[in-house]
Amino acid sequence: MGLLSSILVVANLLCFLFKICYGVDSISPSQPLSDGNIIVSTEGKFVLGFFSPGSSKNRYLGIWYQSIPVQTVVWVANRVSPINDSSGILMINSTGNLNLIHNDSVVWSASTLKEAQSPLLQLLDTGNLVVTDGNSGDYLWQSFDYPSDTILAGMKHGWDLKRRLNRRLIAWKNWDDPSPGNFIFEMTLHNYPEAYLWQGSTIYFRTGPWNGYGFSGSPGLKSNPVFAFEFVYNQDEIYFMYTLKQALLSRALPNQTNSMFQRFTWTEQSWKLYASLPIDRCDTYALCGVYARCLVTDSPVCQCLKGFKPKSEKGWDSMDWSQGCVRSKPLSCEDKSTHGFLTFPGLKLPDTTHSWVNTSMNLKECRAECLNNCSCMAYTNSDIKEGTGCAIWFGDLVDIKQFPAGGQDLYIRMHPSELGMEDGHKKKITVLVVCSVVIASGMLLASYLILRIRKNLKEKMERSRTTGHSSRGKEEDMELPMFDLSTISRATDDFSLNNKLGEGGFGPVYKGVLDGQEIAVKRLSRSSGQGQNEFKNEVILIAKLQHRNLVKLLGCCIEGEEKMLVYEYMPNKSLDFFIFDETKGKAVDWSKRFQIICGIARGLLYLHQDSRLRIVHRDLKASNILLDSEMNPKISDFGMARIFGGDQTEGNTNRVVGTYGYMAPEYAFDGLYSTKSDVFSFGILLMEIVSGKKSRGLYHQDQKGNLIGHAWRLWKEGRPLELMDACLTDSNNLSEVLRCIHVSLLCVQQRADDRPSLSTVLLMLGSESVLPQPKEPGFFIDKGPHDANSSSSKNESSSTNEVTITLLDPR
Ligand SMILES: *[C@@H]1O[C@H](CO)[C@@H](O)[C@H](O)[C@H]1NC(C)=O
Ligand SMILES: *[C@@H]1O[C@H](CO)[C@@H](O)[C@H](O)[C@H]1NC(C)=O
Ligand SMILES: *[C@@H]1O[C@H](CO)[C@@H](O)[C@H](O)[C@H]1NC(C)=O
Ligand SMILES: *[C@@H]1O[C@H](CO)[C@@H](O)[C@H](O)[C@H]1NC(C)=O
Ligand SMILES: *[C@@H]1O[C@H](CO)[C@@H](O)[C@H](O)[C@H]1NC(C)=O
Ligand SMILES: *[C@@H]1O[C@H](CO)[C@@H](O)[C@H](O)[C@H]1NC(C)=O
């Protein structure tokens, strides 16, 4: 020991005085680790060594990232027994046990599952510190079994039931003290397991049980392009685990101070908050007591479930919901077979402390099982992904959250008088269904007849109109107001420059006031190739397109050469006005942006699919998305291609409308347009909303590419989140941001067939399902170095691009 300690003293001196530290791959019985030295993981991502946290002088043995400049400790050995100087030594003895020694006494130790022959301690690149024996790959001990506060990719959070080992996460006391603090995140041993976040001895939040997709109350913990989540529940183990699908640094831990379980990812040289739990106030455990649901968009947030009433009206009225609710009609066990169940959709399942699960039963068997035992209060499928399994609840149901969207069904036991139509009234329903089918088909027939009659009428009127019998303003079927030029002229102050809102592709737009209502007047440039009647017919058709995400056409004006469209006025101008401006961009936070994205998608879906005309917009861009007073998006300029006679066959399209930067390649090059070219433009718009950068004007230091190219490069390099607008970094819904980036790349794929339809886009935006990998985008001019294999084809297409751009750019 004498020689060894003098060697160690010299090594320490070297390390401290000259910063020549001695990093090793592993330690063995003959080679201990002293303070000042480190073990580097197999590929250099992590190190094991001694450190002092924050402003403390104490020394701890721990693991931190080697590859980043901010020391971030993910594991601590001697959390509760600090060493007060730098003479600590980690030894592994000949049977594989670890001893942390200070002044000849053992400060911390770890024993292996069985005695080793030739033990070795190694730090793996996952951050797992393991004891192995000779060439056998088995871990006789691993730090992943004894987590501190951090869960890393590949680590199990939960129970090894055979060893009664509870791998739980306990926050540090504070930055200076890694000893166990107040917040604990652990997996419960309930029959239907879930994870609890404890604050001291009270439950602060629970994730809800695993339902096949994810934890019932934490939709954000589902698999996505970056993370894969796994939940294992069997006789031997109950655990939750995540793995990374992309090369990035990510860790999750309970916060020391603010009762949150948070995930951070390392981007742009710092740890960014990626997601945190609980999500909102309704996640506060048992906020509403029993038999009440919490809906965060409601006021007050707590409401008794249907068929229940507040236990204490007084408490309830003063917003003390802790006593919860009781049944309006109490149940009695004698007549249990007459009970039924009401379906409560959209929930986070209640607390599972008193639950029971059978994974091989179906829903019908589950219902029977629940009905048969009068202490059973509710049941549902234990796995809603497969639609299988049975979970049932005994006793009062507590901590039920209602999601504004999503969530799952729960079937709650009810007194027969509370059931209404829901259950045990199959006959009535059948009769009703038959009746309604008969009525519905009758109505269909009738409306068909009416339509026929109207069509005939209309054709007749059309004929009479073209022969000059009717005049403006007298048509009976004219549902769209026609305005005189003099009226519009007065409303816009004679088209004064002061009232000019902007210049669109089809002519200038003026603000005006008509009968006290603010309006926007689009004065179409005279080049429209249509005659008056054609124009009027088009406008009437387009006026019939009504959707809350389309700008409403109020009327039109045709007089001589003048053609004008009168729209509702949008006080918040257009989207480009906000997202491309650093200061105004801050006013539109991520949740607002996401609402805008979904609104645009819904409006576009209506144009493509749900409206009678099936319109391809052909000029979707940020300046064509107007915003009302509540920042709801409204698509404008739809149908302009129709009005401007853009309906020629593909062969003779002599005018390509649209804007460079948004145009799909097949449309720009070949004039081929389809709903899929709109999808392309939508993808670009999505990128712009996420990044706050214009599709055209992105110049990055050493990357000359456009926005698509930039997005694609970041995606390929596994850093997609770097596309995000700098003023959005406070957003804690990074998985949503990531999803939008992913969807945008799917929308701008080179081949129109590869792009999703708008209905698929909406599904993708709204769900957590796994998305396909995007292929290389269209219009991607890669001027950077790239592999030889693909360079020839790329050069070809990029030269085509450049030629086309000069020919096309219409504005
Ligand atoms: C360090 O702790 C030991 C006991 O473990 C104590 O005897 C010693 O005085 C302490 N040294 C300092 C510098 O505080
Ligand atoms: C290794 O250490 C453990 C406990 O620290 C002890 O029980 C065991 O006897 C030691 N083995 C040897 C060979 O010293
Ligand atoms: C080591 O521990 C002994 C008692 O176990 C104590 O007397 C001594 O001061 C300690 N030495 C150091 C350097 O902490
Ligand atoms: C706790 O959360 C706050 C706010 O999100 C954050 O600034 C802080 O770094 C977190 N603490 C830890 C230990 O991660
Ligand atoms: C689960 O249900 C199946 C089918 O009803 C039954 O055969 C099995 O014994 C049940 N298992 C348990 C543990 O109750
Ligand atoms: C009903 O379920 C409870 C809880 O599992 C159990 O204790 C009780 O024995 C059951 N009663 C009947 C009649 O099966």
Per residue in 738-785, pLDDT (tens digit) is: 899 999 999 999 888 899 988 889 888 877 777 888 998 876 544 333
Helix (H, G, I), strand (E, B) or coil at 684: helix
Is residue 453 domain-shared with residue 486, that is, in the same domain? Answer: no
Instruction: Give the pair of three-digit tokens for residue 444.
Output: 């269909």
Residue that wins the pLDDT comparison between 343 and 503: 343
Residue 251 has a pLDDT of: 95
Decide if 499 contacts 569 (C-beta within 8 A): no
Pocket around ligand 2 at a 6 A CB cut-off: 93-95, 97, 99, 109, 111
Residue that wins the pLDDT comparison between 735 and 373: 373
Q: Is the CB of 373 under 6 A from ligand 6?
A: yes
Average pLDDT, the chain: 81
In a domain, 472, yes or no: no
Report the chain's terminal Cα–Cα distance, integer Å.
Answer: 83
Residue that wins the pLDDT comparison between 247 and 332: 332
Is residue 595 domain-shared with residue 738, that is, in the same domain? Answer: yes
Q: How far is the CA of 232 from the centre of ligand 1 (A)?
A: 46
Sheet holding 23-24, edge to edge: 23-24, 38-40, 46-51, 60-65, 73-76
Q: Which of 686, 678, 527 is nearest to 614 (CA)?
A: 678
Domain count, the chain: 6
Is residue 653 domain-shared with residue 787, that is, in the same domain? Answer: yes
Please report where in the chains the tokens 């609840």 appear, as a residue: 393
Q: How many CA atoms lie within 13 A of 729 on its CB side?
A: 11
Q: Is the CB of 258 under 6 A from ligand 1?
A: no
Is residue 447 domain-shared with residue 529, that is, in the same domain? Answer: no
Domain termination residue (choose one: 530, 552, 569): 569
Is residue 323 domain-shared with residue 441, that is, in the same domain? Answer: no
Q: Is the CB of 67 under 6 A from ligand 6?
A: no
Is residue 292 domain-shared with residue 263, that is, in the same domain? Answer: no
Lowest pLDDT segment from 9-18, 301-310, 421-430, 449-458 = 421-430
Among 233, 359, 361, the mutation site with the greatest number of ligand 5 atoms within 8 A of its Cβ is 361
> Has residue 664 got a pLDDT over 60?
yes
Q: Which domain holds residue 446?
A: 425-463
> Whose alpha carbon is nearest atom 13 of ligand 5?
358
Residue 699 has a pLDDT of: 38
> Which ligand has its closest atom nearest to the C-alpha of 106?
2
Instruction: Give the pair of three-digit tokens for residue 694.
Output: 């214009």
Is 730 marked active-site? no
Decide if 455 contacts 463 (C-beta within 8 A): no
In a domain, 345, yes or no: yes
> Which ligand has its closest atom nearest to the C-alpha of 730?
4
Q: Which of 184, 167, 177 is nearest to 60 (CA)?
A: 177
Rounded Cα–Cα distance for residues 669 and 286 (Å): 60
Instruction: Residue 387: count other Cβ atoms within 10 Å of its Cβ.
Output: 10
Among 190, 377, 394, the mutation site with the greatest number of ligand 6 atoms within 8 A of its Cβ is 394
Q: How many CA atoms lie within 13 A of 687 on its CB side?
A: 32
Q: How many CA atoms lie within 13 A of 165 on its CB side?
A: 17
C-alpha dist (Å) from residue 400 to 357, 444, 616, 625? 19, 42, 44, 39
Decide if 740 contacts 683 (C-beta within 8 A): no
Nearest atom within ligand 5 for CA of residue 359: 1
Rounded Cα–Cα distance for residues 328 and 317 (Å): 18
> Has residue 803 got a pLDDT over 60?
no
496 phi and psi angles, rounded to 5 deg: -70, 150
Bridge partners (DSSP) of residue 169 are 185
Lowest pLDDT segment from 54-63, 390-399, 793-802 = 793-802
pLDDT band at 98 (very low <50, low <70, confident <90, very high): very high
Bridge partners (DSSP) of residue 383 are 388
Q: Is the CB of 71 under 6 A from ligand 1?
A: no
Rounded Cα–Cα distance for residues 22 and 238 (Å): 40
pLDDT band at 378 (very low <50, low <70, confident <90, very high): very high
Identify the DSSP state of 499: G
Radius of gyration of the chain (CA): 33
In a domain, 470, yes or no: no
Decide if 602 contacts 660 (C-beta within 8 A): no
Domain termination residue (choose one: 545, 569, 593): 569
Among 148, 253, 255, 729, the mutation site with the greatest number of ligand 4 atoms within 8 A of its Cβ is 255
> Which one is catalytic: 149, 177, 619, 782?
619
> Whose alpha carbon is nearest atom 14 of ligand 1?
84
Highest mean pLDDT among 21-25, 76-80, 117-121, 582-586 belongs to 76-80
Q: How far is the CA of 262 from the centre of ligand 4 (A)?
A: 8
Residue 87 has a pLDDT of: 93
> Which ligand has its closest atom nearest to the C-alpha of 107?
1
> Has residue 221 got a pLDDT over 70?
no
Q: Is the CB of 798 under 6 A from ligand 4?
A: no
Pocket around ligand 5 at a 6 A CB cut-off: 358, 360-361, 365
Q: How far is the CA of 256 from the centre of ligand 4 (A)?
A: 7
Rounded Cα–Cα distance for residues 376 and 393 (Å): 6
Residue 138 has a pLDDT of: 87
Lowest pLDDT segment from 120-134, 486-500, 688-702, 787-801 = 787-801
Among 84, 85, 86, 103, the mutation site with the greatest number of ligand 1 atoms within 8 A of its Cβ is 84
> Has residue 590 got a pLDDT over 80?
yes
pLDDT band at 484 (very low <50, low <70, confident <90, very high): confident
Residue 441 has a pLDDT of: 54
Residue that wins the pLDDT comparison between 281 and 185: 185
- CATH number for the domain harbouring residue 28: 2.90.10.10
Is residue 366 domain-shared with residue 378, that is, in the same domain? Answer: yes
- CATH number for the domain harbouring residue 300: 3.50.4.10
Is residue 80 domain-shared with residue 192, that is, in the same domain? Answer: no
DSSP secondary structure letters along 393-405:
EES--B-EEE-SS
> Which ligand has its closest atom nearest to the C-alpha of 256?
4
In a domain, 521, yes or no: yes
Is residue 736 domain-shared with residue 773, that is, in the same domain? Answer: yes
Q: Is the CB of 256 under 6 A from ligand 4?
A: yes
> Has residue 620 got a pLDDT over 50?
yes
Burial of 206 (0-12, 13-18, 19+ CB in 10 A): buried
> Whose alpha carbon is nearest atom 9 of ligand 1?
84
Q: pTM of the entire structure?
A: 0.58
Residue 76 has a pLDDT of: 97
Residues 404-458: tens digit of each pLDDT = 878 899 999 999 888 864 444 443 443 344 444 444 554 555 555 445 545 554 4
Q: Is the CB of 255 under 6 A from ligand 4?
A: yes
Is residue 340 domain-shared with residue 395, that is, in the same domain? Answer: yes
Residue 291 has a pLDDT of: 97
Q: Is the CB of 270 under 6 A from ligand 4?
A: no
Domain termination residue (choose one: 131, 146, 161): 146
Instruction: Residue 287: count other Cβ atoms within 10 Å of its Cβ.
Output: 16
> Whose alpha carbon is nearest atom 11 of ligand 6?
373
Please report where in the chains the tokens 């005279």 appear, as a residue: 526
Q: What average pLDDT does the segment 655-662 reach? A: 62
> Has residue 801 got a pLDDT over 50?
no
Lowest pLDDT segment from 360-364, 401-405, 441-445 = 441-445
Residue 671 has a pLDDT of: 66
Q: Which of 621, 622, 631 is nearest to 593 (CA)?
A: 631
Lowest pLDDT segment from 256-260, 524-528, 538-542, 619-623 = 524-528
Q: How far is the CA of 18 from the centre of ligand 2 (A)?
A: 35
Q: How far is the CA of 368 from the centre of ligand 6 (A)?
A: 14
Residue 670 has a pLDDT of: 65
> Which ligand has its closest atom nearest to the C-alpha of 82?
1
Residue 529 has a pLDDT of: 57
Lowest pLDDT segment from 6-20, 185-199, 498-512 = 6-20
> Whose alpha carbon is nearest atom 3 of ligand 6?
375
> Whose alpha carbon is nearest atom 11 of ligand 5?
358
Residue 785 has a pLDDT of: 37
Rounded Cα–Cα distance for residues 295 and 406 (Å): 12
Is residue 255 domain-shared with residue 318, that is, in the same domain? Answer: no
- CATH number for the domain harbouring residue 596: 1.10.510.10
Residue 22 has a pLDDT of: 52
Rounded Cα–Cα distance for residues 542 and 558 (Å): 16
Residue 779 has a pLDDT of: 61
17 Ramachandran zone, left/alpha/beta (phi>0; psi -120 to 50):
alpha
In a domain, 156, yes or no: no
Q: How far is the CA of 56 from the centre of ligand 6 (A)?
A: 55
Is residue 446 domain-shared with residue 401, that is, in the same domain? Answer: no
> Which ligand has its closest atom nearest to the C-alpha of 374?
6
Q: Is the CB of 84 under 6 A from ligand 1?
A: yes
In a domain, 592, yes or no: yes
Residues 224-278: tens digit of each pLDDT = 777 889 999 999 999 999 998 878 899 999 999 988 999 998 877 889 888 888 9
> Has residue 152 got a pLDDT over 70?
yes
Q: Which of 123, 184, 198 is nearest to 151 (CA)?
A: 184
In a domain, 287, yes or no: yes
pLDDT band at 701 (very low <50, low <70, confident <90, very high): very low
C-alpha dist (Å) from residue 579 to 139, 393, 596, 620? 53, 49, 11, 16
Bridge partners (DSSP) of residue 566 are 521, 555
Type of residue numbered 806: T
Helix (H, G, I), strand (E, B) or coil at 280: coil
- CATH number for the domain harbouring residue 503: 3.30.200.20
Percentage of residues in the chain having pLDDT higher than 90: 42
Highest mean pLDDT among 141-155, 213-227, 527-541 belongs to 141-155
In a domain, 347, yes or no: yes
Q: How far is the CA of 103 from the centre of ligand 3 (A)?
A: 6
> Has residue 340 got a pLDDT over 80?
yes
Decide if 424 contacts 353 (C-beta within 8 A): no
Decide if 547 contacts 603 (C-beta within 8 A): yes
List Cβ neighbours of 445 (8 Å cut-off, separation of 6 or more). none
Rounded Cα–Cα distance for residues 23 and 529 (Å): 78
Residue that wins the pLDDT comparison between 471 and 80: 80
Rounded Cα–Cα distance for residues 172 and 159 (Å): 21
Residue 731 has a pLDDT of: 64
> Has residue 637 got a pLDDT over 60?
yes
Q: How far is the CA of 74 from the centre of ligand 2 (A)?
A: 27
C-alpha dist (Å) from residue 207 to 83, 159, 223, 784? 37, 16, 15, 46
Residue 703 has a pLDDT of: 44
